[in-house]
A and B are shown apart, each in its own frame.
Chain A
């Protein structure tokens, strides 16, 4: 029964939602809306589940003094402080996001700098990784490298600046008048072409493949063939 009831619930819900998509009239339309509201409520509770799981994991780690347990204390303190400030701001300012609330202070001066710093570090790692790993070893790697360099130039004003300097240099040759070519913005145009044609074609292929995979997986789940989402199956 532990396995059969979830399979029946999934089957009925899946079939009903497909029907309601194609027949949006009553009673199906109202039924779909009800399902969507339930989904939103369930999604809210999954956050509580995540909170419970995270807290338990780190409490156990601290209790057993496993490697890195000091970081777990920092995490638990941060979690507790954020919760307290969030609830306090909610009670006093009607929303944690109200400007001037203690939660917004924490958000502005701790969360924003921390998240921005983590993301900003990527610039350093990408520069180092590009230098070490981006080698034209094969034809495919060379194509990728050339495309990456052209995109990096075309995506920023440096490309335009460089193109203007190239035209100016060529113009120094007696008898050449290429000033009109400055508006061509060759690097930006190459960037647009790469993004519009080969990139989009590849993305579309990936999307179609992934979507077909998603449809197949959905049918397998609705029909009960794929059961890995049920614990213990």
Chain B
């Protein structure tokens, strides 16, 4: 009897310690698992892959550092894919505290591919009131972003002179930790026909599936697994792939804890009867 009681009441400090070890050990031992690429990620990948060189992709940083571990690897993988294909990138962000993460990733990946600011990519920064500016860019980008994040007029950059609204942008990549993705679909997608795909945190991704099924978006990168899958397709391993063994082991442990808890529950219930 005592065994089953104990099994159903494991001290939380033991659980925390086991989870802590499950996070650290796979990272230290560099455990690896093969990554299976899902259709939703493959379809997102192809929406960039089929764009010709010189196309323009807008990336929106709609997350902050709390969701960085899941979404930053996606940003880096998408930037690598764009720069590999000589696609020009416009970076913006609807979360003020996320924009520095975009700047960090842009500088890192641009250096890897020898891309130049203002020629191959630009960071137009953040403006408050995202629903208004998502609708407003459909008419004229300059009404909201007349300068880049360093207050340099965007018309001083050659490739930006031809960008006025969504007709001049080939694809939007939204990296979402909240509900901003809904606004992109409802206003930029449904009203102005902008093509887009999203990378989202594991908890936000389920909200986006109805849009995917209705073909309003091209694909979804869901959670760290989505980042790892995109890294696999781009053939550049990053922190997404590195984190998957840890996530796998922790998921396995949580399942074991759930089974133990239920075993104890059923045995004790049977004995009480």
Which residues of A are in contact with B by a Cβ distance under 8 Å? 29, 32-33, 35-37, 39-44, 46-47, 93-99, 104, 107-108, 111-112, 114-116, 118-120, 123-124, 126-128, 130-132, 134-137, 145, 148-149, 152-153, 155-158, 160-161, 185, 188, 192, 195-196, 199-200, 203-204, 207
Contacts of A42 in B (CB 8 A): 129
Q: Which listed residue (B34, B128, B149, B257) contacts A43, Cβ 8 A?
A: B128
In the complex, A152 Cα to B247 Cα: how many Å? 10
Knowing A123-B250, A156-B244, A161-B33 touch, does A39 contact B10 (C-beta < 8 A)? no
Known: A116-B69, A204-B210; 5 extra A-B contacts, CB below 8 A, are A36-B129, A95-B149, A131-B10, A135-B261, A152-B254
A33 touches B262 (CB 8 A): no
Residues in B199-254 with C-beta less than 8 Å from chain A:
202, 206-207, 209-210, 213, 222-223, 225, 244-245, 247-254
Instruction: Give the Cβ gap from B20 to chain A, nearest Cβ, in Å.
Output: 8
Contacts of A120 in B (CB 8 A): 69
Pairs A–B under 8 Å by Cβ, sample size 17? A29-B139, A37-B143, A40-B136, A95-B149, A112-B68, A112-B101, A124-B20, A127-B16, A127-B19, A136-B262, A137-B265, A155-B223, A156-B244, A185-B36, A192-B38, A199-B206, A200-B210
- Residue B127 CB within 8 A of the other chain: yes
In the complex, A196 Cα to B40 Cα: how many Å? 10
In the complex, A108 Cα to B33 Cα: how many Å? 30
A36 touches B132 (CB 8 A): yes
Contact with A along B77-121 (1 / 0, CB 8 A): 000000000000000000001011101100100000000000000
In the complex, A118 Cα to B100 Cα: how many Å? 19
From A127, A160, A204, name the one whose CB has the most chain B CB atoms within 10 angstroms.
A127
B133 touches A36 (CB 8 A): yes
B136 touches A94 (CB 8 A): no
Knowing A95-B150, A131-B15 touch, does A160 contact B136 (C-beta < 8 A)? no
Interface of B is mostly: helix
B213 touches A160 (CB 8 A): no
Contacts of B151 in A (CB 8 A): 94-95
Contacts of A115 in B (CB 8 A): 64-66, 68, 97
Knowing A131-B10, A156-B247 touch, does A123 contact B202 (C-beta < 8 A)? no
Contacts of A118 in B (CB 8 A): 66
Chain B residue at minimum C-beta to C-beta distance from A43: B129
Contacts of A29 in B (CB 8 A): 139
Chain A residue at minimum C-beta to C-beta distance from B220: A195
B150 touches A123 (CB 8 A): no
Q: Which listed residue (A112, A126, A161) contacts B254, Cβ 8 A?
A: A126
A149 touches B255 (CB 8 A): yes
Contacts of A96 in B (CB 8 A): 100
The 6 closest A-B pairs by CB, nearest first: A43-B129, A157-B33, A158-B248, A43-B128, A39-B132, A115-B65
